Amino acid sequence: MAIGHCANTRVTDPNENHMQERFGLRNLGIGVGLRTAHYREILEHSPSVDWFEVLSENFMQTAGRPLEVLDQIAERYPLAMHGVSLSIGSTDPLDWDYLRELKALRERTRAHWVSDHLCWTGVAGRNTHDLLPLPFTEEALLHTARRVREVQNFLETPLVLENPSSYVEFSGTPLKEWEFLKGVVEMADAGILLDVNNVYVSAKNHGFDPETYLRALPMQRVVQIHVAGHTDYGTHAIDTHVGPVPDPVWRLLARARELGANAPVLLEWDAEIPSFAVVHAEAERAREFLGNVDVAGAA
């Protein structure tokens, strides 16, 4: 696809050297997704954790306890914000009320970056609260990249986009998922949240080679990496964020690192959530797969 011929868009050379790796954002180290089940433990004992990722929408449309907890955690730990409802690929207009609240939340928490998913979550004013797949077409790419630009201009920070797991593919789409992801972030000058569990799940569901996926990505744009568990049903896998991280997913993390993804790693655990100590210990296993990379929260 002739991305470079699109009018009014700045196209970044894929071999660019001028781009500051990870936009100069701090490598926060090994983090854990903040979950309600662990609030008490974290507030009472302040466990030694490099950083937390917070789910943006959990702290929006509220003026109460969630924000009070978040304020206390933000005082003690570095944070990044991770959203599920930006719906960047939707053909509905951008929701500026949502974006204003998102921006205010970032200012309140001093989050190091803001991420969401390369997907859409609803249309015609309805929200499915799911990460729905985009067709990998030029129309969708241009549409999404333009909106990413708009959001970044408003938020005044690079938007970091995660590859979601997917369970369908659309026929007649000229691009592969990794080409689509690369095209959007380069056209919009955005970051990548590389979820290696999602790469694994989608590879299983669509029959592609995860190595091909990883090799195609502009790793200097990978701002953050997700690891998580999934449920393998034999015929397909679903991104359930349950249980420890399976070995193949850890191996993809190691491979991403070998290919140049020098980014902080975060564990998501959302189903059958065990104690904070168990979750944190699982997250810390990432160090075994990252080689000698400095992920100890270095500036």
Partner 1 sequence: MSAASAPALRELQRWFASVTTHPQGVLEGGFNPKRSKQLERLVTPGPQLSAVERLQIYNDGYFARLVECLTDDYPALSYALGESDFAALARAYIEQHPSRSRSLNTYGKHMATFCRTRSEPWAAFASDLARLEWALVEVVHEPVSQSLAADVLSTIPAAGWQTARLLPSRGLRLLAFDYPVNLFFQAFRDEREPELPQPAPAATVVYRQGLALWRMELQPRAALLLKDLICGVPLAVAVAALETRSIDVKTREELARLLPQWLGSWVQSGFFNGVELA
Residue of 14, 16, 91, 110 interacting with partner 1 (CB under 8 A): 91
Position 170 contacts partner 1 (CB under 8 A): yes
Position 238 contacts partner 1 (CB under 8 A): yes
Residue of 103, 206, 251, 255 interacting with partner 1 (CB under 8 A): 206
Position 41 contacts partner 1 (CB under 8 A): no
| Least distance in angstroms from the C-beta of 209 to partner 1 | 13
Would you say 127 or 152 has its CB closer to partner 1? 127
- Judged by CB under 8 A, how many residues of this single chain contact partner 1? 50
Instruction: Name which of 58, 61, 82, 85 is nearest 70 in CA terms.
Output: 58
Count Cβ atoms within 10 A of the Cβ of residue 88 and give its class: 0-12 exposed, 13-18 middle, 19 or more buried: buried
Choose the binding region for partner 1 from 25-33, 134-142, 184-192, 211-219 (rule: CB under 8 A).
134-142
The helix/strand/coil state of 31 is strand
Backbone angles phi, psi at 269, to 5 degrees: -140, 110
Residue 234 DSSP one-character state:
S
Residues 6+ apart with CB under 8 A from 266: 30, 31, 32, 33, 51, 53, 80, 224, 225, 226, 227, 283
Position 284 contacts partner 1 (CB under 8 A): no
Report the site for partner 1 in 107-126 (rule: CB under 8 A): 120, 122-126
Position 65 contacts partner 1 (CB under 8 A): yes
Residue 151 DSSP one-character state:
H
Position 224 contacts partner 1 (CB under 8 A): no
- Residue 240's alpha-carbon distances to 142, 197, 231, in angstroms, are 30, 10, 6
Q: What six digits make up the tokens of 52?
A: 């937390």
Binding site for partner 1 (CB under 8 A): 39, 57-58, 60-66, 68-69, 85, 87, 90-91, 95, 98, 120, 122-130, 132, 134-135, 137, 139-140, 143, 167-174, 205-207, 234-236, 238
